Amino acid sequence: MANVIVDIKDVNKIYGTNHVVKDLNLQVEEGEFLTLLGSSGCGKTTTLRMIAGFEKPTTGSIQVEGEPIEDKEPFERNVNTVFQSYALFPHKTIYDNVAYGLKMKKVPKKEIKERVTEMLEMVQLSGFEKRYPSQLSGGQKQRVAIARALINRPKVLLLDEPLGALDLKLRKQMQLELKRLQKKLHITFIYVTHDQEEALTMSDRIAIMHDGVMDQIGSPTDIYERPATKFVATFIGETNVFDGTIKSIVNGKAVIGIENGDVTTSGSATETEEKNTGFSVGEFVTVSVRPEKLHFSAEPVEGFSVPALVKDYIYVGSVVKCLAVLPNGNEVKMERLAGEELPKSGDKVFICWNPEDAVLIHSLDNSFYQSLENITLA
């Protein structure tokens, strides 16, 4: 097992009456690329700032390499931060910007030159030493900021939405470059973003934060294929969600009565969990199924009885998204590769899927619906 390099224990951050981070427990392993992902105001940047030393936890502890750091100043911590705004010195050359931290530490000039040259080569900016930030593109400025942070050889690099100011094409290019650098240097990266695709592309693990709480942590595959909560299911990528009550559980297969009929699932929220354990007949639950796993059938399929009417298509290059409307007016979405045969607009179909491709999720509102457990939804 890899060594734990950052250990966050029972951390809370409160500003007045605003509880921003709630009972956070998180262990980051040495050499991993961990992303804190969530919408604005979820507490991810505050968490990063507490690790960096720009904010102090209200309660709890943060350790880096086994040492408590809450009382250390930012410059005393073996971590460096890269910001979205680059924070470069406009009056200094690229060489002097990258060398700044080493000069402050009074590193010998010969060593500074060697390390700056090596770092600029690593971020593919050799020959840019005498230029100024105003002469660089956004992507080049971001690479300078990363080089300046990495030249100090920190154990942990904190990145606060560093690619947010770049255009889409450059952002995708920089995602791959950052991942390449991280693997080459084997430095722990803790990365903050609200961009789901960015997190899925770059991360070894993703921690999903919502309203100050860490909802789920796992590999990109775990997060996408086996969301633990309804928020995670709907926040990461696109999904179809169906709320209903469990009518039966036989041999790991659960039949769910939803507003428009019945659906079936045998998927669980974790890879190792036995199929649909921890659920009970009469429980109000949510079923999540991704658009690429959804199917339309001309006839009802065993375990499924929900009709739909094909409404429209959305062409997005390599894939086509097919929209259908359920009897209650809700829309479902199916996704297929362009060129595959699809039903026509106006066709009547039945929705279905491989039961193992859907995930059954406990509803946070289950206590409210316990009183309805004897009611069968039509």
Q: pLDDT (tens digit, 9 = 90+) per residue, 148-161?
A: 988 888 899 999 98
So what's the pLDDT on residue 245? 94
So what's the pLDDT on residue 275? 53
So what's the pLDDT on residue 274? 47
So what's the pLDDT on residue 215? 95
So what's the pLDDT on residue 277? 59
Nearest-angstrom CA–CA distance, 232 and 126: 42
Cβ neighbors of 336 (< 8 A, separation 6 or more) are 292, 319, 320, 322, 342
174: tokens are: 């920089």
Fold of 239-372: OB fold (Dihydrolipoamide Acetyltransferase, E2P) (2.40.50)
Which segments in the chain show pLDDT lower than 70?
A: 1-2, 267-277, 364-378
244-281 as b/e: b if 16+ CB within 10 A: bbbeebeeeebbbbbebbbbbbbbbbeeeeebbeebee
| Phi, psi for 319 (deg, rounded to 5) | -130, 160
Domain with CATH 2.40.50.140 in the chain: 239-372
User: Which ranges constitute the DSSP H helices of 11-108?
Assistant: 44-52, 94-104
Beta strands in the chain, from DSSP E residues, in sequence order: 4-15, 18-29, 33-37, 59-64, 67-68, 79-83, 156-160, 188-193, 205-210, 213-218, 240-250, 253-258, 261-265, 284-289, 295-297, 307-315, 319-325, 331-337, 348-352, 359-362
Domain with CATH 3.40.50.300 in the chain: 4-225
* CATH class entry, domain 4-225: alpha beta
